[in-house]
Amino acid sequence: MAHVHKLVLKGQTVPISTIQRIIKNNVNQCRKVSTNQGLWAAKTHDENTSSPVPVGEVKRYATDCMVSVGVKEDHASALADVLVAADYRGHYSHGLNRLEMYVQDIKSKICDGNAIPTVLKDKYSTALVNGQNSLGPVVGNFCMNLAIEKAKKHGVGWVAANNSNHYGIAGWYSMLAANQGLMGLSFTSTSPLVAPTRAKTATLGTNPITLAAPALNGDQFVLDMATCTVAVGKIELQRRKGLPIPEGWAIDTDGKITTSADVAMKGCLMPLGGAEETSGYKGYGLATLVEIFCGISAGATYGPNIRRWMDTKRKADLGQCFIAVDPECFASGFQTRMSDLMSHLRHMEPADPTKPILVAGDPERAHIALVDAEGGIRYHVNQINASAALAEKLKVKPMKHI
Amino acid sequence: MAHVHKLVLKGQTVPISTIQRIIKNNVNQCRKVSTNQGLWAAKTHDENTSSPVPVGEVKRYATDCMVSVGVKEDHASALADVLVAADYRGHYSHGLNRLEMYVQDIKSKICDGNAIPTVLKDKYSTALVNGQNSLGPVVGNFCMNLAIEKAKKHGVGWVAANNSNHYGIAGWYSMLAANQGLMGLSFTSTSPLVAPTRAKTATLGTNPITLAAPALNGDQFVLDMATCTVAVGKIELQRRKGLPIPEGWAIDTDGKITTSADVAMKGCLMPLGGAEETSGYKGYGLATLVEIFCGISAGATYGPNIRRWMDTKRKADLGQCFIAVDPECFASGFQTRMSDLMSHLRHMEPADPTKPILVAGDPERAHIALVDAEGGIRYHVNQINASAALAEKLKVKPMKHI
């Protein structure tokens, strides 16, 4: 457990006063919440929440599951790291929740858990990598480590990968770079769920963008955002509660904006910005930028050619992009200016005194602090039950609560 | 005029069928409209519109104005190119509309129109440039040309500039790279106008992001977007018409979302995404990304330290960032895939048959085609009158209409 803590927390230390302020103002409402990348809203702890599961135990369990279906230890561990990091940071949609999907991909041989990515083209600052259909985190770590090496030598490393798979939270890879004092960026194309502005069918993915940049004393700016307004999970949540959704989240099958969660589930997600009058075409443009950096650059599938979500009949062939940049190549004092800007933002007067201004990465830091304080991650009971069932099916030791 | 046409159109040729389809569906409503980057909405031609002014004549006039206040010919021409490109592409807020501001900056010596940028640090793929407080387009062209040179040698060129000034439309610089078969990106920090999510005062700029990427036969993807929902100009337009503004554009001085254009003018712009429930924090995150790539990296002013809009008491010291990437370093066939994706998007079935799905850059191409068809750019009469007054003041030959 200590090992995993260090792995995930590396470079994440922030001034204790900041954490305390964030926790005080947010964390009581912020448990078990963030089913989406970047979600700042929150809900309170309830009877459906488990007792804490130590972070190291979650890692052990996820690794065991992957090993049990034939994935070698280091690849299983790489995947487990990314899934655990998602839950630890509060992005439960991308953590244990996805483990069975990865297990299934290995069992059906749609993904080759033991394949090693290879470099197809290499120039000073760039590389094209064939992911060899390996696990997304194996490809992602390979590519970002290559980008980091190039950035240290040449200032920038820009690596595009084809033939990859789901790589978990995009922020994992940008933070690999930030933990070494670099700016890190990553992008991945994903299955079509988002309709371009004016269209009524989905042809672009939720296509995340992430930037992590180091500040003083281990503090970091960590932006990790889908380029659509919200992920499907938030709509599901509203539907489960019988609540409407805000305008700008989704359209119906005729392309009209809907506030019904039921209708939305049959329609499409909207790009960031929502309707055309609120500049949804900018989110659509950003989603296309991600396609260009990923599948288009790497020669992988892109846009409408990417397999549908949960399609397991053909391999994913996802395109991904990893960038590292050494700020020392520009003006010295980068981290000092980062800390100054972040401090300024965090101390701005809020419109609502109970809702402090946050910097990208703060909600996740608050969640990490909560997990550490409680000694583990609390899951929804449905997740706990699903994990127990999976453990039994795979004949691995189930996760142990505190 | 022929010269300027070629300059601006270089790499902009698209299949005539595409232009025709776009013009047919859009251009009749798309004249004299786009007061904002990326605006796709439109209004019709009316009695306040001038007869066309040939593009070459606009360029001549703008150059003459700058030369008349002591700027050397090539610098004056560089600035004029960018202003004319803005009007030609339909982004009137960034064209002649701004000329007097640049003239004023030279006259007051707040900007040194004849200064030459210098390289402060240079590594294989990166450079830090001191703009020497020269005109923004002089700094921008210098930096992007350096980035292009680096991209051709090393795969990527990433150049950060400090001590710069307003550089016009960001898309000008990304297109410089795209016109040479590269992907081009540019970013600039700007004066504070946008409030971070949960805040009630402006501390970030409209901070644009642009990506231009080449497709087959000169077609291009050209995303050029502010990271706020809309620019101030759109709110002014609604106020002039006595109309409300949509939710998500602006907040009042208490930080509450307003639909009153009057109230909005005293408040702040909102980041792309609008309210927190529609993920406005993503736009806030993107605006911060721009600060990090610009002022923070380059050691220029950033965020709250940037002078207020139209403040002419101190120099701007803007930070800017220019990136060029050679797609040939990745999978071959980049332009073919670009064209395939763009064609797919353009031919998707629209929700409203009168509003075809567009790709970033299409509205501008349609505007260019209209200007070419009419033999010049039509301006609002107020702009024509202001330009005539400026010509008289500077004792240069006024612009001649057709």
A-chain residues near B286 (CB < 8 A)? 209, 223, 225, 286
Sole residue written with tokens 């946008």? B194
Confidence check: pLDDT of B310 > 90: no
Task: Give the pLDDT confidence score for residue B18 in this predicted structure.
Answer: 46
Are A349 and B200 a contacting pair at CB < 8 A?
Answer: yes
User: Could you tell me what percent of chain A has a pLDDT over 90?
Assistant: 84
A-chain residues near B296 (CB < 8 A)? 213, 334, 337-338, 341
Of how many residues is chain A composed? Answer: 402
Task: Give the pLDDT confidence score for residue A311 in this predicted structure.
Answer: 79
d(CA A199, CA A1): 48
User: Could you tell me what percent of chain B has a pLDDT over 90?
Assistant: 84
Confidence check: pLDDT of B13 > 50: no
CA A383, distance to chain mean position in Å, is 18
Hey, what domains does chain B have and what are their CATH numbers? 2-109+359-394 (1.10.1530.10), 118-229+270-329 (3.30.1370.60)
Of how many residues is chain B composed? Answer: 402
- Which three-class secondary structure state does DSSP give residue B159? strand
CA angle A164, A167, A171 (to 5 degrees): 135
Task: Give the pLDDT confidence score for residue B15 in this predicted structure.
Answer: 44
- In 3D space, the residue among B362, B16, B30 whose CA is nearest the CA of residue B222 turns out to be B362
> First and final CA of chain A: distance in angstroms?
13
- The DSSP annotation for A244-263 comes to ---TTSEE-TTS-B---HHH
- In 3D space, the residue among B245, B226, B247 whose CA is nearest the CA of residue B234 turns out to be B245
Cβ-contact A111, A135 below 8 angstroms = yes
Are A256 and B351 a contacting pair at CB < 8 A?
Answer: yes
Cβ-contact A153, A159 below 8 angstroms = no
Q: How confident is the model at residue B307 (pLDDT cuts 50, 70, 90)?
A: very high
Write the residue in B199, B304, B332 that is nearest to A350 by C-beta. B199
- In 3D space, the residue among A22, A16, A17, A7 whose CA is nearest the CA of residue A360 turns out to be A22
A-chain residues near B329 (CB < 8 A)? 121, 123, 126-128, 158
Counts for chain B of helices (H) and strands (E), in that order: 14, 9
Helix (H) or strand (E) holding B224: strand B220-225
Burial A118-135 (b: 16+ CB within 10 A, else e): eebbebbbbbbbbbbbbb
- Is the CA virtual torsion A337, A343, A347, A352 positive or negative? positive
Task: Give the pLDDT confidence score for residue A402 in this predicted structure.
Answer: 84
- In 3D space, the residue among A68, A100, A66 whose CA is nearest the CA of residue A81 turns out to be A66
Confidence check: pLDDT of B34 > 50: no
- Does residue A245 or residue A6 have the better pLDDT? A245
| Amino acid (1-letter code) at residue A34 | S
Q: How confident is the model at residue B45 (pLDDT cuts 50, 70, 90)?
A: low
Q: Looking at residues B225-246, what average pLDDT do you find?
A: 93
User: Could you tell me what percent of chain A has a pLDDT over 70?
Assistant: 89
Residue numbers of B between 32 and 71 with CB closer than 8 Å to A: 38, 40-41
Cβ-contact B278, B271 below 8 angstroms = no
- What region, left, alpha or beta, does residue B378 occupy, with left being phi > 0 and alpha being psi -120 to 50 degrees? beta
| Chain A residue closest in CA terms to B162 | A331
Write the residue in A229, A288, A341 that is nearest to B291 by C-beta. A341
Task: Give the pLDDT confidence score for residue A45 in this predicted structure.
Answer: 59
Residue numbers of B between 304 and 363 with CB closer than 8 Å to A: 304, 325-327, 329-334, 337-338, 341, 344-345, 348-352, 355-360
- Which three-class secondary structure state does DSSP give residue B199? strand
Cβ-contact B189, B318 below 8 angstroms = yes
Cβ-contact A320, A188 below 8 angstroms = yes
